[in-house]
Structure 1
Amino acid sequence: MRLSADLPPSRLDAGLRALTTAANHSVLWAVLAAGLGLSGRRARRAALRGMLSVAGASALSNAVLKPLLPRRRPPAGTPEFTLRRGVPIPRSSSFPSGHSASAAAFATGVALEYPLAGAAVAPVAAAVAYSRVHTGVHWPSDVIVGAAVGAAVALGTRTWWAVREQEPATLGRRRRTTPLPDGDGMIVFVNPGSGTEDDPIRAEVEEHLPRAAVVEFDPGRDFGDQIDDVVAARGPAALGVCGGDGTVVTVANAAVRHDLPIAVFPGGTLNHFARDAGVGDVSSTAQAISDGSIELVDLGAVRVDGGTETAFVNTSSLGGYPDTVRLRERWEPRYGKWPAAAVAMTRVLASAQPLTVTIDGARHSVWMLFVGNGRYAPADQVPMSRPAINEGTLDVRFLPADRRWSRLRLVGAALTGTLATSDTYTQQRVPAVSVGIVGEPVALAADGEVVADGRRFEFRSEPGRVLLYRRP
């Protein structure tokens, strides 16, 4: 503290004074979070976790620790602390430093989701923490403990919101197929309704695969019928798809029917499958096509009321989610996709009623049932990533509603990271599962789309059915 107070006046004083003022009420972190929010999906997750960490750290340090552990600010009357560098002395307890707690919380929260962004934010957070000593409003120990509190709160968010793994899923065994240089012999199907108007994915596909034929779907006709007609007429050596997950599963299903390998390009809004399978980079996938490098991927399938099977590459669900999808689709033309989704989710949760079902013959009352293609992680939280799509299993999770205060207990278990031991959450991995509805037919959602209504659902994994181009 004395070393800092004895520093001669310099331009550094004004900079640190401005920085510590900008961090008042976490304004600085809110501005940085807004900037991250404009930089892509991963950066948005980092910004959200950072601000949630700031909220928790600020509440803990200012509302709990300061009143419990009162401490005087550094004295103003002694010679070594007379230089305050123009910052008003707060009247609250000096211990711990709320500014340092918020700074460390934001930097740590961002780093958990996006290490590169966290590395960029860390020097700013460190400068804010030091500015509290440099301007004479905190003891160094206030800053150290405040930073520890903030980092601990950010790390603690992982107990109820898992960090998404960035490593791609493990797929099945690798095979070699006929190389298609520059995409020669491949037909790439494009959904014009997927993604955004300024999405460059289609242009990248055409650049990296100049000899591939690109076919744009007619929105007025069944996509599966269009694929079958084109395959019958042209006899391609492989199929490609540029679109969202709903389009991916349609083309993947056609590729299975025609025994053809498939290349997936992330042309949708969320692109869960492309991200999980590690085929989000167009150039890498194009190289795999030129090399003839494929890997086997499991496919999920569900038969509704004994009829035709429906495939899914990601997830399928019963309960509130299908109703949310239907409301979102109804309101999307008026409000846009994301506002419509938020309003639909709020509406459904407010009026949710439990489903009475049988799961492999055992009767349950559930709020929702989730069936994932492959193994999702973590097992004891909301699934955030998919480590494997090659084990021939389905990830089945449901939320029992026949427990007292089930929704309240479920929320409490989620926030405290104790879902694994809670009887309001059940998770298992099985090769197949049979679900019966006791009562009226309900909607089934698969890969984000409502596909059917029924009372009997037979889910199963089809190991290694999809031949996916992926570079080793």
Structure 2
Amino acid sequence: MDVRKIARDLGTLDREVFEAVAESPSPLLDTAMPRLTNAADHSKLWLGIATVLGALGGSSVRRGSVRGVASLAVTSLVTNQIAKRLWHRPRPDRTLIPLARRSRRVPTSHSLPSGHSASAAAFAVGVGLESPPVGLALALLAGLVGLSRVATGAHYPGDVFAGFGIGAGIAILGARVVPTIPTSAIPTADPLRYHTDPRPDGDGVVLVINPDSGEGTGGRVIDEVRKRLPHIEIVKLDGDDDVVQVMREAAARGEVLAVGGGDGTVACAAGVAFDAGVPLAVFPGGTFNHFAKDIGCDTVAQTVNAIRDGSAAYVDLVRLNDDKTVINTASIGAYPNYVRVREKLEGKIGKRLAGAYAAYLTLRRDQSVRIAYDDKTLQTSLFFLGNSTYLPSGFAPSVRPRMDDGLLDVRILESGRRFSGLRIATAIALGRLVRSPLYHELQVPEFRFTTLDGPTVLAHDGEVGESCTKADFSVRYRALPVFRPLP
């Protein structure tokens, strides 16, 4: 096989295709191509699109815009500072191009590869790795940018294809270094509906709420509920009440137990409703209201409408040592402090770097606990357990696609090994924590552990709990009906 002859033949074909495009009379090419190629100068087109995507897109689109810009930046550096210096191919003869179609700027660098095409491919593929529909649309636009480089006489077609290959390759390589976040890693399922009568005026509903909760949010909840559900019974808590006893009495005389407050109060009400065999309605009245948001009731109006329509479905509960209820998460060690540090910084430096710094800081302070579970014994400062599976994997769980999968989501970062803090922080920063031998993740219906060096504090649902030496978690699958919006 004569490689030189093949190269000459390809070069001849490349020039012939260029000349065919140059000699094609087309008003569309004459008007559209110069404008498009000028818009792509210095990546202005892609940076403008990234700004729009970041402002208006969803979470996956925003991540895609960041990934696209990062891929573009690396590609531009590689193309202009390395690739163009390796191949000294002269530019095409611009005199073959109609005058109206020629770009205003005359490039002086070598022709192979096309920098515009490389940047276009890098941005489109980078966005597409996080959001395929948007990436497809951008790929079509990137193809037109590549065509514009040939139509305006800046490059041969081979230069454009080489640029596409470099840009796409760098974007894909970037995904190996910083993996993408899947939009959904577990299958979803239709909720199991709880059949109950509509209650347009709130008949049979007993609401237990502290008017002073959430810095006055409780009082506003009471006013809105009274207005929209005139027959509801409202029990106001004060500082001297036995909250559990008040809730038990409310559940005994009502057909629906409603609660207003934060996640700790909701967890208490969920346990009472489960024991009493009545459905639960949740009005968000705390600081974060994770449970209310996850069931689609992050406003009073949404809960009211669900009660009025009789819209309810079953969710899982987690029982801790058979006498306590967990609705969201539980943790030992310094996990709550880790979350506070990460959330404080992620708006300034991004979630990934904030998570890396928070993990390094937490592990460095050595608030570790030795635990035994299954057939393992390890030391950990960061232990997380969730009711149902959270996304994404790693130590920034934020979304529950469903709340009735019958599983506990357990995540453990192992400390106590050589340079464990630095190793974990580096893995988080590079997006490779799930591949680290120091990271343990499992989804199981039951989980139990024992502390080996005395009692440790177990926190759950935003509340600092009691000290324990043993913890036994088990899922009550689809055990509690809750009022929530349903499709």
| TM-score under structure 1 length normalisation | 0.70
Matched, 1:79 2:96: yes
Please tell me whether residue 350 in structure 1 is matched to residue 361 in structure 2: yes
Structure 2 residue 64 is matched with structure 1 residue 49 = yes
Q: Paired residue for 1:451?
A: 464
- Structure scoring higher RCO (CA < 8 A, sep ≥ 6) equals 1
Local SS of the residue matching 1:400? strand
Matched, 1:433 2:451: no
Show structure 1 runs of 5+ residues with no match.
Answer: none
Q: Which amino acid aligns with 2:48?
A: L
Identity fraction in percent = 28
- Structure 1 partner of 2:481: 467
Shift of 1:367: 3.9
Return the offset for 1:104.
0.4
Show the counterpart of 1:94. Answer: 113
Letter of the 2:389 partner, please give it.
R
Could you say which residue in structure 2 is the equivalent of 1:225?
Answer: 243
Letter aligned with residue 228 of structure 1: V
Q: 1:318 aligns with which of 332, 336, 356?
A: 332
Shift of 1:178: 3.5
Q: Which residue of 1 aligns with 2:40?
A: 20
* Farther off after superposition, 254-263 or 278-287: 278-287
Question: Hey, what does 2:389 align to over in structure 1?
Answer: 375
By how many angstroms is 1:51 displaced?
A: 0.7
Aligned residue identity for 1:98? A
One-letter code aligned to 2:412: F
**How far is the alpha carbon of 1:383 from its aligned partner?**
4.9
CA offsets 1:242-264 (integer angstroms, 9 cap, x no match): 77655643543443354321245
Whichever residue aligns with residue 62 of structure 1, its letter is L
Q: CA 1:438 to 1:109, structure 2 compared with 1: closer, same or farther past 3 Å?
A: same
What letter corresponds to residue 20 of structure 1 in structure 2? Answer: A
Note the 1:140-151 alignment, pairs <5 A: 140-143=157-160, 146=163
Q: 1:35 aligns with which of 34, 55, 79?
A: 55
CA distance in 2, matches of 1:26, 1:298: 45
In structure 2, the residue matched to 1:160 is 179
Residues 44-443 of structure 1 aligned to structure 2 (within 5 Å): 44-60=59-75, 62-63=77-78, 67-68=82-83, 70=87, 72=89, 74-80=91-97, 83-89=101-107, 91=109, 93-95=112-114, 97-109=117-129, 111-112=131-132, 115=133, 131-143=148-160, 146=163, 153=171, 157=175, 160-165=179-184, 169-170=188-189, 173-181=192-200, 183-186=202-205, 210-211=229-230, 213=232, 221=239, 225=243, 228=246, 232=250, 235-240=253-258, 245=263, 248-264=266-282, 272-273=290-291, 276-277=294-295, 289-290=307-308, 292-302=310-320, 310-324=324-338, 346=357, 349-352=360-363, 353=366, 355-360=368-373, 362-376=376-390, 383=397, 385-386=399-400, 389-407=403-421, 409-410=423-424, 422-439=436-453, 442-443=456-457
SS in structure 1 of the partner of residue 102 of structure 2: coil
In 2, Cα distance between equivalents of 1:35 and 1:196: 32
RMSD across aligned positions (CA): 5.2
Runs of 5+ consecutive residues of structure 2 not aligned to the other structure: 1-17
Q: Output the CA distance in 2 between the equivalents of 1:144 and 1:170.
A: 44
Q: In structure 1, the residue corresponding to 2:113 is in which secondary structure?
A: coil
Once residues 195 and 91 of structure 1 are traced to their aligned partners in structure 2, the CA distance between those partners, rounded to angstroms, is 64
> CA 1:15–1:441 in 2, change beyond 3 Å: closer, same or farther?
farther
Does the 8 Å contact 1:302/1:457 carry over to 2? no
How far apart are residue 313 of structure 1 and its match? 1.9
* Whole-Å separation in 2 of the counterparts to 1:196 and 1:19: 53
Note the C-alpha offset of 1:315: 2.0
**Structure 1 residue 100: Cα displacement:** 0.7
> If the length of structure 2 is used for normalisation, what is the TM-score?
0.68
Rate the CA distance shift 1:340–1:216 in 2: closer, same or farther, 3 A: farther
Deviates further, 205-214 or 71-80: 205-214
SS of 1:52's partner is: helix
Q: Please report how far the alpha carbon of residue 368 of structure 1 lies from its aligned counterpart in structure 2 after TM superposition.
A: 1.6
Q: Deviations over 1:398-427 (max 9, x none)?
A: 122244444555466667887666422222
Structure with the greater alpha carbon radius of gyration: 2
Query: How many residue pairs are counted as aligned between the two chains?
Result: 449
C-alpha contact (below 8 Å) 2:75/2:119 kept by paired residues = no
Contact 2:312 2:483 survives alignment (8 Å): yes
Measured in 2, the distance between the counterparts of 1:421 and 1:377 equals 16
Secondary structure class of the residue paired with 1:175:
coil
Q: What are the superposed Cα offsets for residues 91-143 of structure 1, whole Å, 9 maximum, x if unpaired?
A: 3652463321343035415525xx5x667767766665555445544444555
